[in-house]
Chain A
Amino acid sequence: DAGVTQSPTHLIKTRGQHVTLRCSPISGHKSVSWYQQVLGQGPQFIFQYYEKEERGRGNFPDRFSARQFPNYSSELNVNALLLGDSALYLCASSLVGDRVSYEQYFGPGTRLTVT
């Protein structure tokens, strides 16, 4: 069975540009979460989508947005890129997204570099 997939693997962008990151969850999983992991730190929660609705949002500016499609795949969009947006962006999927105990499966991440 395929795990969580993310594209692209690596990305280099210039300040002020826009970027779209994509995530395909494990088949049957209805919840997708996005995390930002800056080098040397733990992941920081950005968004959670469950059954195509936004269920949670972390402390990130409005430049960050996301959506979940009918097939449960998801996109993370970041506008007006800043140098500080350089990070590994992780996507995680799970069967459910409405209780404390569900296990998340992470994808390999997208490494974004902003120059």
Chain B
Amino acid sequence: AQKITQTQPGMFVQEKEAVTLDCTYDTSDPSYGLFWYKQPSSGEMIFLIYQGSYDQQNATEGRYSLNFQKARKSANLVISASQLGDSAMYFCAMREGDGNDMRFGAGTRLTVKP
């Protein structure tokens, strides 16, 4: 069963605008962690932000924030003030309980227009 779902294969945003990338997840484990990674064309996965299932507040890291809605099992990434360098693939991922593996979604390709 698909654990992580990213329904937007591609997204466009104007430079300096904000954009939201969607992610929903499925788990019955009360303890889990949610991650967002950026993958430029070079291939390397770059960690952006983390949200724990027990965290009371939404995570923020600079221009990145995570809109965590636990009841809806969604963990959307918000990028504020988009820059041309934000153009890349973005992956949502989840780690459950024992922490042995990380499941990734199919990704969203973000293109920032000048």
Q: Which of B34-61 contact A (CB under 8 A)?
A: 35, 37, 42-47, 50, 52-53
| B44–A97 touching, CB < 8 Å | no
Asked if B69 is an interface residue, CB under 8 A from chain A, the answer is no
Nearest residue, chain B, Cβ from A43:
B104
The A/B interface has a contact count, at CB < 8 Å, of 68
Chain B residues, Cβ within 8 Å of A42 = 4, 91, 93, 104-107
Q: Is the CB of A33 within 8 A of B50?
A: no
Whether A100 lies near B105 (C-beta < 8 A) is no
Interface size for chain A: under 10, 10 to 19, 20 to 34, or 35 or more residues?
20 to 34
Q: Residue B99 contacts which of A35, A88, A102, A107 (CB distance < 8 angstroms)?
A: A102
B43 near A109 with CB under 8 A, answer: yes
Contact B97 A100 (CB under 8 A): yes
Question: When the two chains form their complex, are residues B101 and A101 in contact, meaning their CB atoms are under 8 A apart?
Answer: no
Residues of chain B whose beta carbon lies under 8 Å from any beta carbon of chain A: 4, 31-33, 35, 37, 42-47, 50, 52-53, 91, 93, 95-107
